[in-house]
Chains A and B, each alone.
Chain A
């Protein structure tokens, strides 16, 4: 009895209609989970749903424009909120990864409450999936990391939560997305806190710009290599900015620059993962491009850890 996406879609549209007699907003990051949840909720509620995308300033290159386009194509009523200053303000001086995640979760929820109020909604739909609440812990279960859509929620939240994908893993969400005709169904996972958890150490606009530039190179090169048949596209592939400076030499001059870790893993559901075995010629191109194109980076390393013992993201 494998997963039946069409049966799931019919069930959940019905369940969302029952759960939301009024109006709802959906928190939409443009990723597979929240876009899928947005389409489900939009089919259930029509104009009684508003999708809210928040540009946190922690997104990848071109992401906000792309998400706006996707939501438009899917005919989902939506609103784009610019909030980079609020997020960078809240993250100032914070080094601890758990604290980052909680601060971001809280900033999200405040903005969602504001948007819900002006739309007249009393429900919040989220694309929470199984690993989000499992890893966030609670009662017996240990907290591995606070997922922003679970751990950032205040205890006395006014909005009622609706989470149609709660029992699914990524592979099942993708099946639902394909059945719904969602273009981003195969998009790689991207964490809710965005590039903030890919900058180890303090999150500043400058440091986010470094990891954004490196990430763009990693994504382009992996996609190009997979397109040329050099390797299968990993489940997830990205850059992490490390809080480590090392010595380099540029045009006979000593430099003291930043380090990027490249991470690529193969997984089905995100609950276990193995690091991807990447051809050296691909790593070589990534290294050369990052150290030449992203000013300030003079060293690139490749992460060869599995989950467990590591997690996929560094924070």
Chain B
């Protein structure tokens, strides 16, 4: 299975690559201005987090918008990737009232294939100044934390998922399980 990581400049982009590799996916980190045609035939895409503010600065997000428009296989947006997903598809992202750095706890409100086999509350690691403030049309919120209402979201019909927290770092509980669920989804959407 081929699932690539689009690099938006995050500190943990390379960790996403490592987790996918450990789970047996064929993976590669690609620049965020890679042409859509070069990603043809992939089974899934991860839009990485990014340097400060890039999630709300479309100028720095390269072709992320084209991927969201054109790609049919599942896409998982993380942090900046999640914020950009919301903004690009008609929702909004803005500076968080309370930015979160480090340890936090998320609560799942809406069971989803992404969280299959996970408890409803678990410890996650955060590192964000911005957050999704308004869901795009046809999206549902899946999870929240004490200081952030939209920690996870998904499109009702299309396989588009966004996470504010970082499943790719060692200290997030069940992080690898979330990626495993995402890969299973990529497999079944083939």
Contacts and interface: CB of A to CB of B under 8 A. Distances in A.
A271 B12 contact: yes
B170 A308 contact: no
Contacts of B101: 308-309
B170 A135 contact: no
A142 B22 contact: no
Interface string B71-96: 00000000000000000000000000
A306 interface: yes
B18 A1 contact: no
Given A140-B32, A142-B9, A130 B22 contact: no
B103 A269 contact: no
Interface stretch (B36-44, B48-56, B149-157): B48-56
A261 to B, nearest CB: 19
Main secondary structure of the interface of B (DSSP, over half): mixed
Interface in A129-158: 130, 134-135, 139-142, 144
Interface residues of B, number: 29
A180 B85 CA distance: 45
B178 interface: no
B51 A142 contact: yes
A188 interface: no
B170 A306 contact: no
A306 B11 contact: no
A164 B54 CA distance: 31
A119 interface: no
A272 B171 contact: yes
A3 B18 CA distance: 10
B115 interface: no
B11 A3 contact: no
Contacts of B171: 272-274
A144 B11 CA distance: 9
A169 interface: yes
A134 B32 CA distance: 16
A217 B9 CA distance: 39
A2 B11 contact: no
A134 B102 CA distance: 18
Interface string B1-25: 0000001111111110010011110
Given A141-B9, A272-B169, A2 B102 contact: no
Interface in A89-137: 130, 134-135
A271 B9 CA distance: 15
Contacts of A139: 9
A309 B102 contact: yes
Contacts of A1: 21-24
B51 A140 contact: yes
B125 A140 contact: no
Nearest to A306: B102
Given A2-B22, A267-B170, A309-B127, 18 more contacts: A1-B23, A134-B11, A134-B13, A134-B14, A139-B9, A140-B60, A141-B9, A142-B11, A142-B51, A268-B170, A271-B11, A271-B12, A272-B125, A272-B169, A274-B171, A306-B102, A308-B126, A309-B102
The 7 closest A-B pairs by CB, nearest first: A140-B9, A309-B101, A142-B51, A141-B9, A268-B170, A272-B171, A272-B169
Interface of A: 1-3, 130, 134-135, 139-142, 144, 167, 169, 267-269, 271-274, 306-309
Interface of B: 7-15, 18, 21-24, 32, 50-52, 54, 60, 101-103, 125-127, 169-171
11 contacts: A1-B23, A134-B11, A140-B32, A140-B50, A141-B11, A144-B11, A269-B15, A271-B11, A272-B169, A308-B102, A309-B127
